[in-house]
Amino acid sequence: MALELNVKFTRSNDYQSIVATDLTGVYNALTNPGGYGAPNPTVGSFTSFNITVTPADPVTLLPTGTPVTVNAYPSLPSSSNGTFTITNVDLGLAATDNIIDGVYLFNVSAETALAEYEYQRYAVFSDIVACCIKNLTLQAFGCDCNGKNKNLVKANMWLSLLKPSVDDSGEIIPSQVELCQQWNQAAEIIRELQKICNNNNCKGCGECK
């Protein structure tokens, strides 16, 4: 089986960078035939590893912003879950700007002397609005101000569609949106959650900004 890149993208807790983690792993004929190592290329065989980020548009929250390509080599590739950080400045933002919630598209292009490997992955970032919803839910505990609780019940239900879960064995299960690849729906859910936050004047909690 040929090499199969597997790169995960997560946003940092301060919302100002994106961390790319190479989960491709080491070749194993039985458990990981798409990993690095003979008969597949080794990590040392690569001469480049570029990541193109298409950010979420501020209005639609879909990946239709201006694509930005960053050079992750030689931090990546990695056969041991190595990481590379893409900063807000890399994406054309100010050093103090948050990377907004929304749907992002990542395209990886990596080369050896003999071949080029492509990989594509979508990621849904919703932690900023999620923190607002959690804060509003805590504020509304034990009372119902003009139907506010009804909206928050809906908000928490929608939020659950965006978040991965962990089963009894500790395995991470992708969110329902990821499983169904409903990226337009994900953007619409985030927009609706933002409306609820704005209408209820969320002030944030802890790391919220």
pTM: 0.89
pLDDT digits (tens, 9 = 90+) for 20-31: 999 999 999 999
What count of other Cβ atoms lies within 10 Å of the Cβ of residue 121? 16
Instruction: Select the highest-mean-pLDDT range: 70-84, 128-142, 186-200.
Output: 70-84
pLDDT digits (tens, 9 = 90+) for 121-151: 999 999 999 998 888 887 766 555 555 567 8
Average pLDDT over every residue of 154-173: 80
**In this predicted structure, what is the pLDDT of residue 199?**
80
With 60 as the cut, is the pLDDT of residue 10 above it? yes
**In this predicted structure, what is the pLDDT of residue 200?**
72
Average pLDDT over every residue of 110-128: 96
Q: Name which CATH class applies to 7-125.
A: mainly beta
Q: How confident is the model at residue 12 (pLDDT cuts 50, 70, 90)?
A: very high
Q: How confident is the model at residue 18 (pLDDT cuts 50, 70, 90)?
A: very high
pLDDT digits (tens, 9 = 90+) for 79-98: 999 999 999 999 999 999 99
**In this predicted structure, what is the pLDDT of residue 209?**
43
C-beta of residue 30 within 8 angstroms of C-beta of residue 73: no
| Summary mean pLDDT of the chain | 89
Q: How confident is the model at residue 59 (pLDDT cuts 50, 70, 90)?
A: very high
Domain boundaries, the chain: 7-125, 127-199
Q: How confident is the model at residue 166 (pLDDT cuts 50, 70, 90)?
A: low
**In this predicted structure, what is the pLDDT of residue 44?**
97
